[in-house]
Amino acid sequence: LVADGPLCTRVPAYAVEAVNPTGAGDAFNAGFCYGLARGWDLLSSTRFASAVASLAVSQPLGVAGVPPATEVETFMAARPAA
């Protein structure tokens, strides 16, 4: 859920098979900060963070298995959030 002033938007998760939940929150936070550092708005940063966390839990290495931003963007373009 993203609250930006009077606007409140639900940001759904991406459906993936969870293999290792270790570091999911860290991966989300990293993705969120990545977006903010690039000047993205809160909603775009949160959507990206959701994708990063989804990819992280789908890897045996958890947060250590998060791919580069370009792969996260490809993941987002290939599947809609649930």
Name residues whose C-beta falls within 8 Å of residue 11's C-beta, 6 or more positions apart in sequence: 1, 2, 43, 46, 47, 50, 81
What's the rounded Cα separation, in Å, for the pair 7 and 5? Answer: 6
Tokens found for residue 62? 């958890």
Report whether 29 contacts 62 (CB < 8 A).
no
Q: Give the dihedral of Cα atoms 3, 43, 13, 19; nearest 10 deg.
A: -110
Residue of 26, 36, 43, 65 marked catalytic? 26
pTM recorded for the entire structure:
0.90
Q: What is the pLDDT of residues 3-42, one digit of tens each?
A: 988 989 999 889 899 999 888 999 999 999 999 999 999 9
Is residue 26 among the annotated active site residues?
Answer: yes
